[in-house]
Structure formats: structure tokens, C-alpha cells
A and B are shown apart, each in its own frame.
Chain A
């Protein structure tokens, strides 16, 4: 596959990232050593794949370092524009797809995967 083929694949797209404040949601994947060793890379890929499949372009997906809860990695933090951050623990590609569908798109936190406070 050549660079020109890549260009043709995305022709007609306006692939700019949403302006600050315009994104409906920010999704952060913990990518410290602990997160990476626990499978954060595949979790990240599942998030972007799920957003792509749903045609969603106003979500910012980014990474952060270790949050200090290494044993519960991979961690994913979801912060809706008008809401508080929710931390999800023990993420898998399958579980994070559910988080995207229910929380990022649907606006309802997935309580079952939530990192309980003090845990």
C-alpha cells in the first residue's frame, strides 16, 4: 500500500480533531508500563474501532501515564463534556466497546466496570 493509496482512502474526509470544548467526550487510556503490559494497546484500538464503526468524530481519544492503580489496569477514563470523570478498571476490548456504546454514546455510565472509590 502506497502513501497515495492512503490518501485516496480518506479523500473527502475532513479529519480534523474537534476544537477544544467542542468534543462531546474525552476518553483517556492508561498507557504506563502497567497499562501496556495489561493490554492497553488493544483496548485503545477497540475504542477507536468502535467510534469509527459508529461514525463518531467529536470524541477525543488520548493516553495518560500510570494513575497508581496498576493492579486494575487497563484503566479507561471517560469524561463527558458536561459531566464528571468516570474511571473504568480491568478493561478488555470487549468491555470497552460496551463503555463506548453505553457511556460515550448513550450518556449512561457502566456501573459494573466502574472503579469503586477506595478500592
Chain B
């Protein structure tokens, strides 16, 4: 994984495969504390204690198509190399929360990458999942909720190409503004 936005997409895809109908993605960049934290919370099927205990073992997976599960181990490694760590909490039937923390100015912290593209990819390909996304940089923040968007745009799906294109602009524009605000 080249950047954090791809990790975010990867972990959120786990939530989708866990049958989640609501997923929240949060990125917090706190310059004062020198921390970058991202959290993915879902209401999917969750994991048993046994599954949780084997989570960081790349040779453990519940899927049948291949015998390794690299997503979380790769994220854990990336977080630890950047002076942070990974916390996963889960309960069967209740959902899962994955939280990764990085030293914001750590030399080995992967760049954030194209977070707007990640959020967009999730929204347009999963019309039946409601997403909440929040990205905070110090005092500035950008927030989007698909349930709200659907009401405002009077549609049940944000995946139609015309709408998807407009949504892409909206996300990229607001992410760009957040970057500008932080640079000042």
C-alpha cells in the first residue's frame, strides 16, 4: 500500500464484506499532539475473540479464495514504523472498530494520499451502505454523510455516473480546501 488512503479503502472493504450497513470513516490530524489518527467503525458481523487474537497473523484468514490476509498486518506495520500503532475492537453481532495512529511528522509515516478518491470509490459502489466521513485538520473539518446527501439530492443511489462525477468534484474540492486551510 502506497499511502494511507489505500489502507483506508482496504479496511473499509473489510467492513463491507462483514455485511455492514453503516460505516464511519474518520481522519484526525492534530499538529499540536503531532498525531494522525484514522478510525473505521462499522456495524458489520464483528469478530469472535479467537478471530481477534489471530488478526495480526498474515497466515490467518476466514476467506476461501486465498490463504493469507495481509490488510491489517500491513496497516499495523505501517503504523508501528511511524511511531504509532493499531487498535482493533470487535464483538460478534455488534461490529468492528479499527483505529490506526501515526506520528504526524514521523519520517516513515506514509502520505495521506487521495482520500477523496477512497471515499468516493466506497460511496459509488455501495449504494446500500450509509457512510459518514469526517476529516479534521486542527480546527478545520470536512464532513459528509451519504444519508444526508441522498435526501438533499433526492436519490436512493449516488452511483449513477453523472451524479458520481459531481460527487467526485465535491469531495475533491472540499478536501483541497481543508489542505489549504491547514497550510495557512
Interface residues of A, Cβ cutoff 8 Å to B: 1, 3, 5-7, 9-10, 13, 15-17, 29, 31-34, 36-37, 41-42, 44-45, 48-49, 51-52, 56-57, 60-63, 65-68, 70
Closest to B120 in A: A45
Please judge, given known A-B contacts A33-B70, A41-B121, whether A65 and B65 are in contact too, CB under 8 Å. yes
A63 close to B125 (CB less than 8 A): yes
Q: Is the CB of A66 within 8 A of B170?
A: no
Contact of B162 among A5, A13, A44, A62 (CB under 8 A): A13
Is B13 in contact with A63, judged by CB distance below 8 angstroms?
A: yes
The listed residue (A13, A29, A62) touching B160 by CB distance below 8 A is: A13
Q: Is B19 an interface residue (CB 8 A)?
A: no
Number of chain B residues close to chain A: CB under 8 A: 44
Contact call A36/B164, Cβ cutoff below 8 A: no
> Is the C-beta of B155 less than 8 angstroms from some C-beta in chain A?
yes
Interface string of B127-168 (1 = CB under 8 A from A): 100000000000000000000110011011111111111111
Residue contact B125 to A44, C-beta cutoff 8 Å = yes
When distances are taken between beta carbons in the complex, the residues of chain A under 8 Å from B10 are: 33, 36-37
- Are B63 and A15 in contact, CB atoms less than 8 angstroms apart? no
A41 B118 Cβ-Cβ under 8 A: yes
For A15, list chain B residues within 8 Å (CB): 153, 155, 157-158, 160, 162-163
Does B110 count as interface, using CB distance less than 8 angstroms?
A: no
Asked whether B174 lies within 8 Å of A56 as measured between CB atoms, the reply is no
15 A-B pairs with CB atoms under 8 Å apart are: A3-B149, A3-B170, A6-B166, A16-B155, A33-B13, A33-B71, A37-B10, A41-B9, A41-B118, A45-B120, A49-B161, A52-B161, A62-B125, A63-B121, A68-B65
Give Cα A3 to B148, complex, Å.
Answer: 10
Cross-chain contact B63 with A66 (CB below 8 angstroms): yes
The answer to whether B178 has its CB under 8 Å from any CB of chain A is no
Tell whether, in the assembled complex, residue A45 and residue B170 are in contact, meaning their CB atoms are under 8 Å apart: no
Contact assessment for B160 and A49 in the assembled complex, using a CB-CB cutoff below 8 Å:
no
Question: Which residues of the partner chain B approach A65 to less than 8 Å between Cβ atoms?
Answer: 13, 17, 63, 65
* A15-B160, A41-B118, A56-B161 as given contacts; A36 in contact with B13, CB under 8 Å: yes
